[in-house]
Amino acid sequence: MIYEIITYTVKPNQAPKFLELYEPVYAARRRNHSELIGCWFTDIGTLNQVIQIWPYESLGERERIVAAAGKDGEWPDDLTDLVVGATSEIYAPFPFSPPVEAGEFGAVYEMRIYDIIPGTYDDLAAAWRAALPARRERSRCAALLYSELGGMHKLVHLWPYADLNERARIRRETVADRIWPPSVVVPAKDPRGTIRHQVNMIMLPAAYSPMR
């Protein structure tokens, strides 16, 4: 299984309008070819972004579906005019990653994006494999993915919470109990560690997001 993460950057304060205009396009056209697994807009962190996750069985299936969907026509001008930039990246799960599933899991989602130091993949995987089971007992991990195409050496993990207070409490407790972060559970053998840069965003699900 692979996952395409598409990030649209829209004009300031226009993410709700983008979602309003995109929903009928998705329902009438794109959904006929394959379904989203999740769609959110950013609330804290990098603002004015809409983030979609599309699941595919393979790169070949993605290529076929995207080509078929493209024959349905372009977006309407009023939707296209809101977009100032877009990126597409392909991710894959680790063997121990939790399933990426639709469902109602939380009102807010935290997406964390890490740039990984090249050559430290084995250290990273060992730490996450060891730490994730105990961390998942405290709250759901909705996705744990590493980059395959697009931005290289990246790790994305997604966590739903009831609200920001629950997020703060759980993160505080897991750190105090030394079950998190993974680098505490299994320190990297490489003296550089594994993480070069971190980005954190709080997102709210779109009304039509299958994961919400």
pLDDT digits (tens, 9 = 90+) for 102-152: 999 999 999 999 999 999 999 999 999 999 999 999 999 999 999 999 989
Nearest to 52 by CA among 41, 43, 63, 64: 41
> Is 153 domain-assigned?
yes
First to last CA, the chain: 21
Quick check: bond before 181 cis, omega within 30? yes
> Is 12 domain-assigned?
yes
CATH code at 107? 3.30.70.100
> Is 167 domain-assigned?
yes
The predicted model gives 83-99 an average pLDDT of 98
pLDDT tens digits for range 19-68: 999 999 999 999 999 999 999 999 999 999 999 999 999 999 999 999 99
pLDDT(159) > 80:
yes
Q: What is the model's pLDDT at position 122?
A: 95
Residue 25 near residue 33 (C-beta atoms within 8 A): no
> Is 29 domain-assigned?
yes
Instruction: Provide the number of structural domains found in the chain.
Output: 1
Domain of 111? 2-205
> Is 46 domain-assigned?
yes
pLDDT tens digits for range 175-190: 999 999 999 999 999 9
Q: What is the model's pLDDT at position 5?
A: 98
pLDDT(208) > 80:
yes
Taking the C-alpha atoms of residue 204 and residue 212, their distance in angstroms, rounded to an integer, is 8
pLDDT tens digits for range 160-170: 999 999 999 99
Q: How confident is the model at residue 73 (pLDDT cuts 50, 70, 90)?
A: confident
> Is 211 domain-assigned?
no
